[in-house]
Homo-oligomer: A and B are copies of this chain.
């Protein structure tokens, strides 16, 4: 469990924690059934309020990434079997994709360069997943 708060990242701390845990699930560092550190442990090691860690865990439960049970540690949930509906995918990812390319455009990047960046990223992700 390597989680770190990036001071330069302006997003709320709990969002950073959520994202990093989700990334570790994706990469395979965390597998279904694995226990997460207790709220207290993680809070201490990150130097943040327990409250903050707790709201991160709650968010992860909402998204079906972890399961929480009173008195027990949070556990990574089973991966979802059935993929989201096309509609949901479009709503959640479509907007973000659009914004990503708009952002790229205003940074002066061509669509082809963007494509390259995306491919590189996808490959890196695949390899990372493979080696685990």
Residues of chain A having any CB pair with chain B under 8 Å: 7-10, 12-13, 19, 22-23, 25-26, 62-65, 67-71, 75, 77-84, 88-89, 92-109, 111, 113-115, 117-119, 121-122, 125-126
In the complex, which of the residues B19, B88, B118 contacts A97, with contact meaning CB atoms closer than 8 Å? B118
CB-nearest residue of chain B to A125: B101
With known contacts A13-B69, A70-B12, A83-B107, A94–B121 Cβ distance under 8 A: yes
Q: With a CB–CB cut-off of 8 A, which chain B residues contact A83?
A: 107-109, 113
Give A106 to B48 CA distance when docked, in angstroms.
26
Residues B19 and A99 in contact, CB atoms below 8 Å apart: yes
A113, chain B: closest CB distance, angstroms: 8
Residues A22 and B106 in contact, CB atoms below 8 Å apart: yes
- Given A83-B107, A94-B117, 9 extra CB contacts under 8 A: A10-B69, A26-B101, A82-B108, A89-B109, A93-B103, A93-B117, A97-B121, A101-B125, A111-B122
With known contacts A100-B97, A125-B101, A92–B67 Cβ distance under 8 A: no
Give A115 to B123 CA distance when docked, in angstroms.
11
Residues A81 and B108 in contact, CB atoms below 8 Å apart: yes
A55, chain B: closest CB distance, angstroms: 10
A sample of 10 cross-chain residue pairs with beta-carbon separation below 8 angstroms, ordered by A number, consists of A12-B70, A19-B99, A19-B102, A22-B102, A84-B109, A88-B107, A93-B104, A93-B109, A93-B117, A96-B103
